[in-house]
A and B are shown apart, each in its own frame.
Chain A
């Protein structure tokens, strides 16, 4: 039921495949590759976008696995608002230990990062994942706008959306430790 519902919502969004297509030639390319994205395609784009950011910015290899398999502490939450063609929130959550490791890897420093730097790094990571994700889908780079990142710290906060949207959740492992990525759409 849920899969069917979310596929319908994504079809309503009307995003076309044909990533990186721009200009008159790009318009043709969009037509050639015209197809409505399935849930699996959205997952594939989110997966690739996330792995690329971690690999390019910190040389880290992420492993993606079924969401909800890890018992994880969610001490850090970074959120990016999406507006325009796609409306909703993309969030990244992890434990304090993972967030500190990420900041250290990003800064390429051996010394522990300050909490300010950890929040900043985590927010930027989420920002880059959102930007990389939308850059992969034709029509989204221009049509979807990103907010500046918001980072919330606090143990196991629960996020409730007041809109009646659907979501995709992915779990990644960084050196065996879990990170959770969620794309929540507004109806």
Chain B
């Protein structure tokens, strides 16, 4: 498995910490974890740094998670970076929208570390 460089995008700093803790509890080999509070901040980060996994919330101020995924797909440097949505929005429409825009997975809040591991490990093993 690759050494993971992970970007966590969520407007809640507490949730970003919980997601990071869950990733570490999952036993991933993590090289770096960076954080952004919304899609706009995250877009800047992905153009300055390289990540092999992005975990993003959907409901965020400034730029939401779906628009963020859409923008990632338009950038050559991030088109193939796997994105997993972590969100309270679980409606079929949200899931279909996210996956059709290019997201590779969907995790519902509340989540357990095992659920994170289950979705994330296969993506890092590709």
Taking beta carbons and an 8 Å cutoff, which residues of A are in contact with B? 22-23, 52-53, 56-57, 103, 106-108, 116-117, 120-121, 123-124, 127-128, 130-132, 135, 141-143, 146, 148
**Residue B35 CB within 8 A of the other chain:** no
A121–B12 Cα gap in the complex (Å)? 8
Is A132 touching B110 in the complex (CB atoms < 8 A)? yes
For the complex, would chain A's binding face be called helix, strand, loop or mixed by DSSP majority? helix
Is A52 touching B110 in the complex (CB atoms < 8 A)? yes
Q: Give the one of B18, B61, B91, B94 with max A CB within 10 A.
A: B91
Q: How far is the CB of B27 from chain A (nearest CB, A)?
A: 17
Tell me whether A130 and B88 are in contact in the complex, defined as CB-CB below 8 angstroms, given that A57-B110, A121-B14, A123-B12 are known contacts. yes
Interface hits, B75-104 → A, CB 8 Å: 87-94
Q: Compute the total of residue contacts between A and B using a CB distance below 8 Å.
A: 65
Size category of the binding interface on chain B: 20 to 34
Output the nearest chain B residue to A20 by Cβ-Cβ distance: B90
Tell me whether A106 and B59 are in contact in the complex, defined as CB-CB below 8 angstroms, given that A57-B110, A127-B88, A141-B92 are known contacts. no
Q: How far is the CB of A2 from chain B (nearest CB, A)?
A: 30
Tell me whether A107 and B92 are in contact in the complex, defined as CB-CB below 8 angstroms, given that A128-B110, A135-B108 are known contacts. no
Q: How far is the CB of A18 from chain B (nearest CB, A)?
A: 13
Q: How far is the CB of B40 from chain A (nearest CB, A)?
A: 15
A107–B21 Cα gap in the complex (Å)? 9
**Residue B112 CB within 8 A of the other chain:** yes
